[in-house]
Amino acid sequence: MNTTRNKIFSTVVIALTLTPIAFAYAHGMSEAEKQTILQGGNLQFLKIGATHMLTGYDHLLFVFGIVFFLTTFMDVVKTITAFTIGHSITLVTATLMGVTVNYFLIDAVIALSVCYIGYENIGGFRKFFEKSPNLIWAVFIFGLIHGLGLSTRLQQLPLGEEGIVWRILSFNLGIELGQIAALCLMVIVLFKWRHTKSFLQISTVSNNGLIYAGAFLFLMQMHGYSHSIDPDEFAFPEDNHIHAHEKMETLIPGSEYKNGSPKLFSTESPQ
């Protein structure tokens, strides 16, 4: 009976871990969000930052992996602070300096960070090294990478020149609030879970699930990159990926905001 219950629980955990990959192309900001941000206002930037984090499956999976085996409040605070400092540095500085990276490629690296934390949690590095890499430093470095991805997303929106610093800081604050909300839920679930007999068994399944999810996300992002006409473009993912194979459209940065409505310039010849 217990064996059957554990198998069912394992299946549920895997499903919950891998569910976000079904939305791999929904991570971009919606048209409604873009129109909202056009109207300005720091509160809108804060709201979009929080929403972006709460729907950012790759960031959430990474945070889940970070806190998985942390048992004390101070350990959670120190590690999450390292991640927060890391992604705040690159989010703010890269946006102010206008540094962008193709978002398919940066998201592919972020996907690999999910694989890293899952592999670390199952003791993978200890099989080859005397001790694992320092977790806080590793989290800080990956935080820098995550922040660059967040900055690239933010720069897809018109920030203007007046009050740009406050808009960036508001977006970053929204990211932090969304992260705190998700983190609290994760810590509560993990705290209760640790007091069950099945924790060690399910923890292996869960962290292997992180590795598989990260690998799948990496392949999805590289697949998206291979279908980009221009490696420097920042077009938002299409709702139906099948259409990307039928019609590739190039988005000219900034032109979609002229006259208040998006303008896509198709590469297809007119009929």
Examine the pLDDT at 23 and tell me if it is beyond 70. Answer: no
Look at residue 26 in the predicted model and tell me its pLDDT: 37
* pLDDT tens column, 226-246: 876 454 444 444 444 444 444
Mean pLDDT of the region 162-188: 90
Q: What is the pTM of this model?
A: 0.70
| Closest listed residue to residue 50, CA positions, set 62, 33, 64 | 33
pLDDT band at 257 (very low <50, low <70, confident <90, very high): very low
Mean pLDDT of the region 108-120: 92
Look at residue 148 in the predicted model and tell me its pLDDT: 92
Structure token pair of residue 116: 């890293």
Decide if 174 contacts 50 (C-beta within 8 A).
yes
Decide if 142 contacts 86 (C-beta within 8 A).
yes
Look at residue 72 in the predicted model and tell me its pLDDT: 86
Examine the pLDDT at 189 and tell me if it is beyond 70. Answer: yes
Residues 6 or more apart from 110 whose CB is under 8 A from it? 58, 59, 62, 142, 145, 146, 149
Examine the pLDDT at 259 and tell me if it is beyond 50. Answer: no
Phi-psi label, residue 254: left if phi above 0, alpha if psi -120 to 50, beta otherwise? left
Decide if 51 contacts 178 (C-beta within 8 A).
yes
What percent of the chain lies above the pLDDT cut of 70?
A: 68
Mean pLDDT of the region 22-37: 51
Phi-psi label, residue 264: left if phi above 0, alpha if psi -120 to 50, beta otherwise? beta
* pLDDT tens column, 45-94: 888 889 889 888 899 999 999 998 888 889 999 999 999 999 999 999 99
> What single-letter amino acid sits at 45?
F
Decide if 102 contacts 230 (C-beta within 8 A).
no
Examine the pLDDT at 121 and tell me if it is beyond 60. Answer: yes
Look at residue 38 in the predicted model and tell me its pLDDT: 59
* pLDDT tens column, 2-14: 444 444 444 444 4
The mean pLDDT value of the chain amounts to 75
DSSP-derived letter for residue 236 is P
Other beta carbons within 10 Å of 106 = 21
Domain positions in the chain are 38-226, 233-271
Which secondary-structure segment (H or E) carries 91? helix 73-97
